[in-house]
Structure 1
């Protein structure tokens, strides 16, 4: 057995023994940060017409939170990037397990979906090393902490971006500015969010974890940026007077965007301000035991994919050739099914996280939260993979680009139902196994 493995095992034993001796309201927690801000000019991801820039508005990070209790460790990683595919997730989780001894199944890796940074090929090893480094730092930073939970509501910043005009779905930006508010929204937006605060023995916050359902696409200027999650973190840090990592877990926002007509920095202020109010009314997490429920399965691909030429020509005529190429490219790479992960983490008796690997339409997550047996449930998308949009059945009927077969939409039209059912199985399993019930 090599020295590094012995060290990892001994560290794990020390954490387990320390956790077993903690008071009933404490848990051990560690934080690790790695700066991944590009140097020099890069192409910003997330647009059919990508822009290049070297100017930085807010820095990009890998943030890692490790929680340990009673011999169980959970790893939560957030990436300031558009998406992170499943094959790289598998590599990164295996690398974390090798470096720390924490099982790969206990790791969730969530992309913020910022449209103002480069994709993974920009980085020398496609972010596997920075992710592993951040988790290793967090694993070596474990100290006794207390947890608090809260729910906030940030209104006036986000909206359903799909509206129904003449029986068809249109994205608001495809209509004239004075026209986009004249038609009914296809679905809801979700202003509510859940928050978990990790507090050190000195009374300071060691980390803040929150989950909000809105595309990280508020920064419309060609700048390198973590988008509104970066603005939120700076707003919270300024108010608190010290640097606390704010880990943003992307909520179900496949059809939810920032309201572009409001002042750009207002979004960060609204959400950041509500996070500060949440910190003032935290409810303690009593008996903060941990449990993980990880599911791995094959998600079916799209039934009878076709190129919706007439629909593309109507909704987005300037991008007709772009979507024709996207269809042709995806058709060449099409598979009958795709490796898919759903992971649940229970933190204490009343708080749970459940993940999916898509841009999930908001109403699907609202259904999961409504049925959840937990008081606080984070439904987290873009996690442990990136399998494109999962619209509702109504959205498939109404059309538009989130439903068109291609790079961003290729799973079965039943994916929403599968994700909801599997998520509920995970949450109910976590609830049934709670020893504190």
Structure 2
């Protein structure tokens, strides 16, 4: 395999309201550490796969579609072979413009700035191809906890130590054929990047991890690929409640996870015989629009927000008229190693499902990729209620809640990807 790699600073130059927390009511006041866009391009037999990851909340569908078209035309990488992943950083910019301003401030100039950075980065990385061999390593890490707890018949956002969780940390290491030097690492782990809600730009813990490993493996590029972390939060808990800290808390957690990853990397991995293939599909998501008829979440005193949401979705009717589409992308890196991406905040149960169904395949499951259609909960969770099933829709500008049918649709779409990528496997 041949790879191309690089990173570029994408810290906003303008003052804007950061994405991720509705209670932030002003533009950021400073920068704790810089945000980066990273890319790894893999090439086998002239077929390329490009993975981008950025220290942002999530990408927008419009930016992804535009960039994919440019990259396919200019660099001859098929659209289906391009992943735009976000670390889901709650202390960075918001890209989509079809969400309520409480979730963050849309900036057309920042979107343009980021698109230009992508192209500039690609122009530079193709000048330095590197021949590598590939290792896959995985282990368990226990920095997260399920955040859906049922109390008195209601789902609360509190630590649920008995709740399901995918604790797998999957690593792909790219080593220089001649020197054995580590050139790049892909890290896939499911853990919300919402450690701090201070009003400062920072990378949250994923950026600390990437910097630490890039410092240890000089000259390397490390990409953190956010997993299916929709209902998984860091174990930052006082008593029976979650808390959010400062940037010092971010650094402490990032350092702890980095230390664990370095130990995992030191183990002998499986040498991968590389082959690249892709398959993708999109499915219209069924919705229940009856929620527009009654305010079930906000108090009578806060009915104003409910009414503003109604006004917003009427002013942005495209989601209701055109529909909302799930995009599922599968990338085969070898016959036993695949990447599955979804354009939502996916709950952990879907990662556990696909890994259990195909026990002979190692999966990197990526949420927050190629756009954002909100939280993707299971049938049971949609019936139970709670933030991941219903409460989030107001901030994401959705016209309703997802139907329970999406459970089978999501599972079926992932299976379709895997089955198509396995067709040539003997």
For residues 281-305 of structure 1, give each alpha carbon's deviation from its aligned partner in whole angstroms, at most 9, with x where no partner exists. 142433211111122x342241233
Matches within 5 A, 1:300-339: 300-307=285-292, 311-313=296-298, 320-330=303-313, 332-333=316-317, 334-339=320-325
Gaps of 5+ in 1: 1-26, 173-180
Contact 2:298 2:306 in 1 (8 A): no
CA distance in 2, matches of 1:211, 1:292: 19
Contact 2:172 2:186 in 1 (8 A): yes
Contact 2:286 2:405 in 1 (8 A): no
Contact 1:31 1:137 in 2 (8 A): no
Q: Does 1:119 align with 2:90?
A: no
Q: Does 1:252 align with 2:228?
A: yes
CA distance in 2, matches of 1:239, 1:36: 23
SS at match of 1:306: helix
Structure 2 equivalent of residue 400 of structure 1: 386
Structure 2 equivalent of residue 130 of structure 1: 117
Contact 2:44 2:275 in 1 (8 A): yes
CA distance in 2, matches of 1:38, 1:237: 22
CA distance in 1, matches of 2:293, 2:40: 43
Relative distance call for 1:254 and 1:87 in structure 2 (3 A) is same
Gaps of 5+ in 2: 96-106, 239-248
CA distance in 2, matches of 1:211, 1:87: 25
CA distance in 1, matches of 2:43, 2:202: 32
For residues 339-370 of structure 1, give each alpha carbon's deviation from its aligned partner in whole angstroms, at most 9, with x where no partner exists. 44211111122211011100011112211121
Deviation at 1:227, TM superposition (A): 0.7
CA distance in 1, matches of 2:213, 2:236: 22
Q: Does 1:144 align with 2:135?
A: no
CA distance in 2, matches of 1:274, 1:406: 37
Contact 1:369 1:377 in 2 (8 A): yes
Q: Does 1:100 align with 2:85?
A: no
Question: Which residue, out of 286, 289, 308, partners 2:272?
Answer: 286
Structure 2 equivalent of residue 80 of structure 1: 55
Deviation at 1:412, TM superposition (A): 3.8
Q: Does 1:416 align with 2:416?
A: no
CA distance in 2, matches of 1:60, 1:245: 14
Relative distance call for 1:322 and 1:189 in structure 2 (3 A) is farther
For residues 375-394 of structure 1, give each alpha carbon's deviation from its aligned partner in whole angstroms, at most 9, with x where no partner exists. 31011111112111111122
SS at match of 2:237: coil
- More off after superposition, 106-115 vs 256-265: 256-265
Deviation at 1:91, TM superposition (A): 0.4
SS at match of 1:118: coil
Relative distance call for 1:319 and 1:420 in structure 2 (3 A) is farther
- More off after superposition, 245-254 vs 403-412: 403-412
Relative distance call for 1:158 and 1:124 in structure 2 (3 A) is closer
Relative distance call for 1:226 and 1:416 in structure 2 (3 A) is farther
Relative distance call for 1:230 and 1:422 in structure 2 (3 A) is same
Q: Does 1:199 align with 2:206?
A: no
Q: Does 1:66 align with 2:54?
A: no
CA distance in 1, matches of 2:325, 2:127: 32
Q: Does 1:390 align with 2:373?
A: no
Question: Which residue, out of 226, 235, 241, partners 2:203?
Answer: 226
CA distance in 1, matches of 2:15, 2:286: 36
CA distance in 1, matches of 2:179, 2:29: 39
For residues 206-261 of structure 1, give each alpha carbon's deviation from its aligned partner in whole angstroms, at most 9, with x where no partner exists. 11101111111113322211111011123323444x25222111111111111223
Relative distance call for 1:270 and 1:397 in structure 2 (3 A) is same
Count matched residues.
394
CA distance in 2, matches of 1:142, 1:318: 60
- More off after superposition, 47-56 vs 210-219: 47-56
For residues 246-278 of structure 1, give each alpha carbon's deviation from its aligned partner in whole angstroms, at most 9, with x where no partner exists. 211111111111122385444213321222122
Deviation at 1:323, TM superposition (A): 4.3
Contact 2:383 2:404 in 1 (8 A): no
Contact 1:209 1:247 in 2 (8 A): yes
CA distance in 2, matches of 1:304, 1:325: 16
Relative distance call for 1:299 and 1:126 in structure 2 (3 A) is farther
Relative distance call for 1:417 and 1:282 in structure 2 (3 A) is farther
Contact 1:153 1:274 in 2 (8 A): no
CA distance in 2, matches of 1:423, 1:194: 18
